Amino acid sequence: MKKFAVFASGNGSNFEAIVTRLKEENWDAEVSLLVCDNLEAKVLERAEAFSIPSFAFQPKSYENKPAFERAIIEQLRLHEVELIVLAGYMRLIGDTLLKAYGGKIINIHPSLLPAFPGIDAVGKAYRAGVKVAGITVHYVDEGMDTGPIIAQKAVEIGEGDTLETIEQHIHELEHKHYPSVIKELLGLNSRGEKQ
């Protein structure tokens, strides 16, 4: 059974989509840990509803980033995590975590990178008047939404689209495709079995 962790800071709709797909398709894998840097986040309730263990912490209560990343690593080891899936984790991954899990951390970003990195990517794309928006799944390095691209999906923006409808299209793309990319990276076949 492959074990992976999801890191999230807020709502957690991607977390929910990933766990739901994994269960529906009976993957030979599990989310063994949710890591969350916001004690008020809705994603914590979602994890509890699925009985998934979570490590929720307050960055402020640690001396610095290496200190809280060491605490995260301890939890990741305890839960035998092989892959880290960032899904709305609003924090740059630091050296400590990168050294321990380099090449095993992926992120989803709501734009066609390298366009519109950073926060409010959908708003930036909307205000730029793009005709095609989309999502990117990529490996994480020390930069902000940099790192080798694994997969991208695009959606056309129509005349009648508003910021809200574009956000909705983007979320639909994320919920559909992120689980598929994770499944492939875990080395599971289309039936969710280990190959």
What are the residues whose beta carbons fall under 8 Å from the beta carbon of 97, sequence distance 6 or more? 69, 72, 73, 84, 105
CB of residue 1 to ligand GRF, shortest distance in Å: 24
- The residue type at 61: S
- 8 contributes a contact to ligand GRF by CB under 6 A: yes
User: Is 175 a known active-site residue?
Assistant: no
Site string for ligand GRF, 110-139 (x = CB under 6 A): x-----------------------------
CB of residue 194 to ligand GRF, shortest distance in Å: 26
Closest to ligand GRF by CB, 12 vs 179, is 12
CB of residue 17 to ligand GRF, shortest distance in Å: 8
> Under a CB-based contact definition with an 8 Å cutoff, are residues 174 and 110 in contact?
yes
Site string for ligand GRF, 135-174 (x = CB under 6 A): ---------------------------------------x
What are the residues whose beta carbons fall under 8 Å from the beta carbon of 146, sequence distance 6 or more? 113, 114, 117, 138
Binding residues for (6R)-10-formyltetrahydrofolate: 65, 90-93, 107
Nearest CA to 112 among 162, 166, 159, 151?
Answer: 151
Find the binder of ligand GRF among 2, 5, 6, 14 (CB under 6 A): 14
The 3-state DSSP class for residue 184 equals helix
CB of residue 26 to ligand GRF, shortest distance in Å: 23
- 10 contributes a contact to ligand GRF by CB under 6 A: yes
Quote the DSSP letter at residue 30.
E
- Catalytic annotation, pick one of 79, 109, 138, 177: 109
> Under a CB-based contact definition with an 8 Å cutoff, are residues 40 and 109 in contact?
no
> Under a CB-based contact definition with an 8 Å cutoff, are residues 122 and 41 in contact?
no
For the sheet containing 149-156, what is the strand order? 54-56, 29-36, 2-8, 83-86, 105-109, 132-139, 149-156
Residues 59-78 that bind ligand GRF (CB under 6 A): none
Binding site for ligand GRF (CB under 6 A): 8, 10-14, 87-88, 108-110, 174
Annotated catalytic sites, by residue?
109
